[in-house]
Amino acid sequence: MREKIEASIEGIRKMLQGHGGDVQLISLDEEKGLVEVSLQGACVGCPHATETLKMGVEAKLREDVPEIREVRAAAV
């Protein structure tokens, strides 16, 4: 599952990097279907970061890896 998630994140990363941001996989709980990521660069402090996380990153990851139930921002 981790390999599928990392491949999906690579596709998402290209979009975010085009806007000065980035995303990094922090942790995965396969049993719960929970993924934690860190938004970086221009995404940090952006008023649209929550939308990017849920409607962008989570939506794409769940589309590519149906076992995922939730994507959260990692506590830093």
- pLDDT tens sequence for the chain (76 residues): 999 999 999 999 999 999 999 999 999 999 999 999 999 999 998 999 999 999 999 999 999 999 999 999 998 6
Domain formed by 2-73, architecture: 2-Layer Sandwich (3.30)
Determine contact, residues 1/37, Cβ cutoff 8 Å.
no
Task: Supply the pLDDT for residue 76.
Answer: 64
Going from N- to C-terminal start, the domains of the chain cover: 2-73
Structure tokens at 33: 């279907």
pTM: 0.90
Determine contact, residues 38/26, Cβ cutoff 8 Å.
yes
